[in-house]
Copies of this chain bind each other. A is one copy, B any other.
Amino acid sequence: MDRRPTIIDVARKAGVSKSTVSLVLQNSTLVKEETRAEIRKVMAEIGYVYNRVAANMRSSNAGLIGLVINDLRNPFFTEFATSVQMTLSARGYATVLANTNEDPDLQAQVVSAMIEHGVTALMISPTYGNEAASFDPIARAGIPTLQVLRKVVSDGRQFPFAAPDYEEGGRLAAEHLLSLGAHQIAFIGGFQGRDVTKKRMKGYLSVLGHAGIEPLILPGRPTRAFGREIARSLAQDYPDVGAVICFSDLVALGVLSGCAEIGRRLGIELKVVGFDDIEDCAQVWPSLTSVRCDIAGFGRRMAEILLEWVELGRAPPEETTTPVELIVRASTSPKAIA
């Protein structure tokens, strides 16, 4: 193919100046309707395509948003990223996406790359560790950046944060199990000391505290494999524990597999609550009770918040918390199974 046609080619063919063509591109009412139609016709004829990059150089509104995700293979983050990307797309923005795989160095690298590419704003579900390597360059470049799902930088003025109400989720889960008559309720999975774990655990701890029940915390990787392992050790080492709250649905799904493996009946011998309510929860059998974070809705909302920031200059509050709800399914209601 030859060189792509430019506004100069269009202008020449249409017999106007390139400024006029530029105005048409911007749908300006300064140009007579007739002329506009004529110029558009010429564009179609010669196959003109708008060079947004060049336009951006002068006016600097790239229409490019960077989305950085710590673990894109995890369905929870996939759902989130997809939702953000599609919302941005509907609003005329393209998304440059990168998975950091929980690697702080990789994160720093992709963040720099995005800055070089001139992203208008960033949304980041960050990984833990070496936060400065990623966030200092962003701060220097002065790019509006939203921390989501995990808070790793405490300066909420510069890097506003948003997440579902994890603490309330932990509370709802614990209250639900308590109302079902559970006497011993364990919290399983999740790395100790991390913000998300602490929040989810806090709700659980406060409910148990009020009820005068001794908590049991079994931390671990937030994976199916861990859930599967813990299902076995729960049966062996903690036979009296009749209910568990899982750090995430992945852990809960692992528990489901583990229980199937050892023949322990979910909902009857062991009640299980997941966290996040990813799609799988409703699809597996027995279906999983879970704390719904409405991650798709959360993604849409985050996209909108970010665009409001870049388009209207309206910075989000330092911290945004979105509501959660408990979705009760078979894994905590034996009748649904029978």
Contacts and interface: CB of A to CB of B under 8 A. Distances in A.
A4 interface: yes
A315 interface: no
Main secondary structure of the interface of A (DSSP, over half): helix
Q: How many copies does the complex hold?
A: 2
Contacts of A130: none
Contacts of A261: 285
A54 B57 contact: yes
Contact of A113 (B89, B106, B115): B89
B97 A85 contact: yes
A212 to B, nearest CB: 36
A78 interface: yes
A253 B257 CA distance: 12
Contact of A260 (B62, B97, B141, B285): B285
Interface in A247-289: 253-254, 257-258, 260-261, 279-280, 283-286
A112 B94 CA distance: 11
Given A53-B62, A64-B96, A94-B98, 10 more contacts: A1-B140, A4-B141, A53-B57, A72-B81, A92-B113, A94-B110, A94-B117, A224-B280, A228-B283, A257-B283
22 contacts: A49-B115, A49-B141, A51-B118, A52-B117, A53-B56, A53-B117, A57-B57, A72-B85, A73-B75, A73-B78, A86-B99, A89-B106, A89-B113, A94-B96, A94-B110, A94-B114, A95-B97, A95-B98, A253-B283, A257-B283, A257-B284, A260-B285
Interface of A: 1, 4, 47, 49-54, 56-57, 62-64, 72-73, 75, 78-79, 81-82, 85-86, 89, 92, 94-99, 101, 106, 109-110, 112-118, 137, 140-142, 224-225, 228, 253-254, 257-258, 260-261, 279-280, 283-286
